[in-house]
């Protein structure tokens, strides 16, 4: 059956759990040298209109690791740059590839490609969502802290794409989520409203980073200026200055809290060098887990 991963809402909690369980198994299998062949004869098309290190490389390595092949297309490589309609792109690419992994600006681009594609379309980040990131981040949380539904997860900073996907995760998984965002930088209102209406635990929005981290098991931080917001750096630097994750903020949190950053990090802005390099920070484990999660996603969506 054709399934797209446009946002976490495309799957049930049980299916999302299956991604996480399978990624943990695949991580173990890699450690003990199991060879995989699930994607032999399959080709994955990566269509990236924004830069990427982790997501691109981990999807490529994941595909090769399962025996498949990859074609990478940046924005300047396709006729999309010359305004070829998305519905035509979708119906051409789906004749060639077995899945399209798409990183772009508007969520509507992913939605339209998915609407016309006969192969799975996987959202590798839009301005609105970063679902693959949150799947692998939940895997990291579970590895480090145990069952996620028992935890209190904090978000400090911009109510951006990654924050929106955390809200969707909280809606399904029933962990407590407390977001500290400066006024004017809240998560998407519809996503927040829906999350709050459906979640079994509170999803709280506050203005104080200290309040957000006070009882947190997990502290999440991301850049203050996301891709596509270039030119807003000065305004954002001023708005977010009090939201830096630094030693003084961590002193307000339980000593057992872990710090997560999806990377890339801007040391001295949203996080200090000291915190990023500290034992509490699991950013590089998060980065590794993207590869295991992307294997699980590809296997469950396109392996025969």
- Residues in touch with ligand CP (CB under 6 A): 52-55, 125, 133, 262-264
Least CB distance from residue 55 to ligand CP, whole Å?
Answer: 3
Residue 71 has a CB neighbour count (10 Å cut-off) of 16
Least CB distance from residue 127 to ligand CP, whole Å?
Answer: 13
* Ramachandran region, residue 72 (left: φ > 0; alpha: ψ -120 to 50; beta: rest): beta
Of the pair 92, 227, the CB lying nearest ligand NVA is at: 227
Of the pair 52, 220, the CB lying nearest ligand CP is at: 52
CA 213 to chain centre: 21
Select from 222, 269, 270, 299 the one that contacts ligand NVA (CB under 6 A): 222
Cα separation, 221 vs 265, in Å, equals 9
- Contact partner, 53, from ligand CP, ligand NVA, none, Cβ < 5-8 Å per class: ligand CP
- Contact partner, 297, from ligand NVA, ligand CP, none, Cβ < 5-8 Å per class: none
Residue 162 lies near ligand NVA (rule: CB under 6 A): yes
Residue 57 lies near ligand NVA (rule: CB under 6 A): no
- Contact partner, 164, from ligand NVA, ligand CP, none, Cβ < 5-8 Å per class: none
CA distances from 78 to 49, 101, 144 (A): 10, 14, 41
Select from 156, 223, 291, 301 the one that contacts ligand NVA (CB under 6 A): 223
Cα separation, 172 vs 199, in Å, equals 7
Select from 57, 73, 227, 303 the one that contacts ligand NVA (CB under 6 A): 227
- Interface residue list for ligand NVA (CB under 6 A): 125, 160-162, 222-223, 226-227, 262
């Amino acid at each position: 059956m054709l399934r797209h991963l446009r946002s976490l809402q495309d799957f049930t909690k049980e299916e999302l759990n299956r991604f996480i369980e399978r990624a943990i198994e695949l991580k173990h299998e890699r450690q003990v040298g199991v060879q995989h062949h699930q994607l032999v004869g399959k080709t994955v098309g990566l269509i990236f209109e924004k830069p990427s290190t982790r997501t691109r490389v981990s999807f490529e390595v994941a595909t090769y690791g399962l025996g498949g092949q990859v074609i990478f297309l940046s924005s300047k490589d396709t006729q999309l740059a010359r305004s070829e309609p998305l519905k035509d792109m979708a119906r051409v690419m789906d004749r060639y590839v077995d899945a399209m992994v798409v990183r772009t600006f508007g969520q509507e681009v992913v939605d339209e490609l998915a609407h016309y594609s006969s192969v799975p379309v996987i959202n590798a980040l839009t301005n609105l969502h970063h679902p693959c990131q949150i799947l692998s981040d939940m895997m990291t949380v579970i590895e480090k802290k145990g069952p996620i539904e028992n935890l209190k997860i904090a978000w400090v900073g911009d109510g951006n794409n990654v924050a929106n996907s955390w809200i969707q995760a909280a809606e399904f998984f029933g962990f407590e989520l407390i977001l500290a965002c400066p006024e004017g930088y809240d998560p998407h209102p519809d996503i927040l409203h829906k999350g709050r209406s459906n979640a079994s635990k509170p999803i709280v929005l506050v203005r104080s980073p200290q309040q957000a981290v006070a009882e947190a098991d997990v502290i999440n931080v991301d850049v203050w200026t996301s891709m596509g917001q270039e030119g807003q750096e000065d305004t954002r630097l001023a708005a977010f200055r009090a939201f830096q994750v630094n030693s003084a903020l961590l002193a307000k949190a339980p000593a057992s809290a872990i710090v997560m950053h999806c990377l890339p990090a801007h040391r001295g802005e949203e996080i200090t060098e000291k915190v990023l390099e500290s034992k509490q920070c699991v950013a590089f484990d998060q980065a590794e887990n993207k590869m295991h999660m992307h294997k699980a996603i590809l296997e469950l969506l396109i392996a025969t």
